[in-house]
Structure 1
Amino acid sequence: MRSTHIRLRRACVATAAAALLIAPAVAGPAHGAPAQGSFAPAAPSPSPSPDGDTEFKQLTPAVAAQLDAAILQVLREAHVPGVTVGLWAPGKGSYVRNFGVSDKATGAPMQSDFRIRIGSETKTFTVTALLQLVDQGKIGLDDPIGKYIAGVPNGDRITLRQLAGMRSGLFNYSEDNDFIKAFEANPNKPFTPQQLLGYSFDHPVQFAPGEKWEYSNTNLILLGLVVEKITGRPLNEVIGRDVLQPAGLRHTLFPIGAEFPVPHAQGYTDQSASGKIVNATNWDPTWAWAAGAIISDLQDLRSWARTLATGTLLTPATQAERLKTTSVGIPGAGYGLGIFNVQGWIGHNGSLPGYETLTVYLPEAQATMVVLLNTDVQHDGQEPSTLFGEAITSIVSPDHVYPGHKPTAPNPG
């Protein structure tokens, strides 16, 4: 059974081979909708920038034209309905563009104020809430999960740190055949965290705690339950009050069902049974919960990228722990605690039926990149968000191309 299309995608560092460097094409309309958005080049500097042009290029009209062409080529080749791209770098300018359509039935264009389901980027918020509890002295990263949640296989040995770092060895519930059948039978069906864990715990552990890295959404379900147990509040309320509010994110929310505030694009996925493209906009995301249910928008993600990478909501010591990465088999790429570092770009990607996102920050240039798509359909085995990220960074940060390398080890999981 082909499960890739109802699964919260692994972090791109695990799945994406950077085999396709997109060559610029002639810019023009895509899917009947021209590129829209804003482009704000920085004022020319009388002397070279101290960080050098190789770190992040000046967003001049010529560079903007290159970006337009490269993004349009990926959109066409990967058959993506629509994409919104945002780039910002102090002293270098900004670039915000919409390409393609938000609704294939009406041909309505993408807009930069749309909300979007961010999939696994949710993990960055859940782990931040967890790490805030570490800073408050209420939990320890090396506490075993069994101290808080009963019935976890190897629960006396698996630590919170290993769960956040994808090194627990617990089976990924979203790859369980019974879960897949239940979801495909009714994508509007709500799931509870306990049901999701049940799908995982029916399987033996995959390896000893800490032995290796393997992406598993089960880890985040457990961490979400820990946050609820320690705070005595629902996870959506904890993240809303303790993470979103202090971060100033006014258009980000943790839904408790299938609610999806407007405006938003229609999201398209391919059914695993038939392979047909279907509209997944209003499918219930409770199956993803702490691992992938959050909704956000371009400007909130722009702000969150910097907050996440610089540790604004955490103590320096805890942020340092978060940024310690484990190799995932790709040179220049590693996974920390609910966060990755790929060729210097720090952040996370997200994918669930109908939508993909990529939100990353390059500290060396204080540059932010956000990519939002209204499809999760892979192209030649690769996530389309990764293809866009690579095409963009090949132009603006050639010394930091995302993801930059083909995997040198088998795809984990």
Structure 2
Amino acid sequence: MKRSCTRLRRGAVMTVAMGVLTLPVAGGAAATAPPAPPSPSASVSEGGFRPLTPAVKRQLDKAVRRVMREAGVPGVTVGLWAPGKGRYVRSFGVADKSSGRKMSPDLSVRIGSETKTFTVTALLKLVDRGAVRLDDPIGAYVKGVPNGNVITLRQLAGMRSGLFNYSEDDDFFKALTSRPRRPFTPQQLLGYAFRHPVQFPPGERFSYCNTNLILLGLVIEKVTGRPLRDVIREKVLVPAGLRHTSFPVGAEFPKPHPQGYTSQTASGKVEETADWNPSWAWAAGAMVSDLEDLRVWARTVATGVLPGGRTLIGPATQKQRLTTQPTGIVDVGYGLGIFDVRGWIGHNGSLPGYETLTVYLPAERATLVVLLNTDIDHDGSEPSTLFGDAITKIVTPGNVFDLRAQPAVK
């Protein structure tokens, strides 16, 4: 099992995966007021979105099958939508290798670090209400946090806190892989993180870290006096009309769902994961969703606008969410629980046995969702990134989704 940022890590961005990404970037401490954000598609090259003609769909079929074959992916579902350009929804392979049950678009999956977009949205709704401020120190809400008097909620959401990532702790790794069905509490997770010194002064650089989201989840619970899952359901899922998205308490997993396959195990052998307990990821990666809900959520989280035109997040707060900082990967920035990969706005997710990618391209009002039932890397890259890269090379050659680190140009 790779000790990345959760593989959840991977939950994120870069494969260095947003989960694993701990690449240092230049820059000093973040200012109290955020800089004016670039356009979400500022890094976009010209090229547009190719109409989804039968010929283009055949190209996509071929590309998806190639990635499946090369990366050893059992099953994958791809959804691609663009107004006036068509839609492409296909499932390939199997949901369960033992039974041969086919992958299909109606299956629920564990979404890993895409959970971060929901947790941060719940936080931003509290910001809109004036219940919290992004530049409040975490120490005002949670005691015992190293550097808690200077690390802000903004730095936690933007992955610039300097805290140690609990999912990279050796004892956590042993505990999770020896008993993957055991429950973890947020306090236990923070215990693994806080035994380590801070990695750098807050705001100094980007480093993807699940500890940050555990803390933000606790902030939401403290301010509202309610469980995080209830706040997310009432304030985010219900307004957005997401009826098949949930925050499990333990290992519950709505049916139908695919079996998951991972090599992140004590033995290093591939094991099935559908009944593993995702509580170890909590506010950073425990949620479940499906293709249709993620299609809706892609646009909602990227724009702050609900289906029907009402706002989920106020425009000024949404602008702060989309204010990105460098990550160490060319043309990839990270905002508040969300990334911008060459114009594609959203997040990816990776949990043992499952990976997802949900992104929106504002310039074309296009949505891409990828769901698969393995998190086993191929040549150091997450399979969700490989699918995103292969698909966007065909339909948006000017906006290729590539999270793989690029070598520095000297």
TM-score by length of 2: 0.89
Q: Does 1:194 align with 2:193?
A: no
CA contact under 8 A between 1:5 and 1:272: conserved in structure 2? no
1:395 corresponds to which residue?
A: 394
Map 1:372-411 to 2 at 5 A: 372-403=371-402, 406-408=405-407
CA contact under 8 A between 1:119 and 1:350: conserved in structure 2? yes
Map 1:150-299 to 2 at 5 A: 150-299=143-292
The SS at the match of 2:271 is strand
Distance 1:366 1:84 in 2: 20
The SS at the match of 1:290 is helix
CA contact under 8 A between 1:267 and 1:279: conserved in structure 2? yes
Alignment match of 1:129 (pick from 119, 122, 126):
122
Q: Could you tell me how far 1:8 is from its partner in structure 2?
A: 1.6
1:7 corresponds to which residue?
A: 7
1:44 corresponds to which residue?
A: none
Q: Could you tell me how far 1:272 is from its partner in structure 2?
A: 4.2
Q: Does 1:101 align with 2:102?
A: no
The SS at the match of 2:14 is helix
Once the two structures are overlaid, the 10-residue window that deviates more, 383-392 or 175-184, is: 175-184
Distance 1:63 1:324 in 2: 34
CA contact under 8 A between 1:344 and 1:400: conserved in structure 2? yes
Distance 2:60 2:70 in 1: 15
| CA 5–307 in structure 1, closer or farther in 2 if over 3 Å, else same | closer
1:33 corresponds to which residue?
A: none
Q: Could you tell me how far 1:320 is from its partner in structure 2?
A: 0.3
Q: What amino acid does structure 2 have at the position aligned with 1:113?
A: D
Alignment match of 1:147 (pick from 129, 140, 148):
140
Q: Could you tell me how far 1:14 is from its partner in structure 2?
A: 4.9
Distance 1:295 1:120 in 2: 11
Q: What amino acid does structure 1 have at the position aligned with 2:347?
A: H
Distance 1:301 1:246 in 2: 14
CA contact under 8 A between 2:103 and 2:258: conserved in structure 1? yes
The SS at the match of 1:132 is helix
| CA 16–125 in structure 1, closer or farther in 2 if over 3 Å, else same | closer
Distance 2:325 2:132 in 1: 22
Distance 1:216 1:12 in 2: 11
CA contact under 8 A between 1:309 and 1:346: conserved in structure 2? yes
CA contact under 8 A between 1:138 and 1:230: conserved in structure 2? yes
Q: What amino acid does structure 2 have at the position aligned with 1:155?
A: G
Once the two structures are overlaid, the 10-residue window that deviates more, 3-12 or 74-83, is: 3-12
1:71 corresponds to which residue?
A: 64
Q: Could you tell me how far 1:399 is from its partner in structure 2?
A: 0.3
Q: Could you tell me how far 1:60 is from its partner in structure 2?
A: 0.1
The SS at the match of 2:214 is helix
Gaps spanning 5+ residues in structure 1: where? Answer: 18-51
Q: What amino acid does structure 1 have at the position aligned with 2:357?
A: L
CA contact under 8 A between 1:124 and 1:348: conserved in structure 2? yes
CA contact under 8 A between 1:356 and 1:385: conserved in structure 2? yes
Q: Does 1:370 align with 2:369?
A: yes
Q: Could you tell me how far 1:275 is from its partner in structure 2?
A: 2.4
1:357 corresponds to which residue?
A: 356
Q: Could you tell me how far 1:69 is from its partner in structure 2?
A: 0.2
Amino-acid identity (%): 68
The SS at the match of 1:341 is strand
| CA 185–381 in structure 1, closer or farther in 2 if over 3 Å, else same | same
Q: What amino acid does structure 2 have at the position aligned with 1:8?
A: L
After superposition, the CA RMSD in angstroms is 1.9
Q: Could you tell me how far 1:180 is from its partner in structure 2?
A: 0.7
Q: Could you tell me how far 1:54 is from its partner in structure 2?
A: 2.5
Q: 1:26-50, CA deviations, whole angstroms, 9 ceiling, x for partnerless residues?
A: xxxxxxxxxxxxxxxxxxxxxxxxx
| CA 354–405 in structure 1, closer or farther in 2 if over 3 Å, else same | closer
Instruction: Give structure 1 regions of 4+ aligned residues with deviation exceeding 2 angstroms.
Output: 1-7, 271-275, 404-410
TM-score by length of 1: 0.89
The SS at the match of 1:208 is coil
The SS at the match of 2:84 is coil
CA contact under 8 A between 2:6 and 2:350: conserved in structure 1? no
| CA 16–136 in structure 1, closer or farther in 2 if over 3 Å, else same | closer
Q: Could you tell me how far 1:405 is from its partner in structure 2?
A: 6.2
Q: Could you tell me how far 1:407 is from its partner in structure 2?
A: 2.5
Distance 2:329 2:93 in 1: 32
Distance 1:2 1:12 in 2: 16
| CA 329–2 in structure 1, closer or farther in 2 if over 3 Å, else same | closer
Distance 1:370 1:77 in 2: 20
Q: Does 1:59 align with 2:52?
A: yes
| CA 353–58 in structure 1, closer or farther in 2 if over 3 Å, else same | same
Q: 1:130-172, CA deviations, whole angstroms, 9 ceiling, x for partnerless residues?
A: 0000000000000000011100000000000000000000000
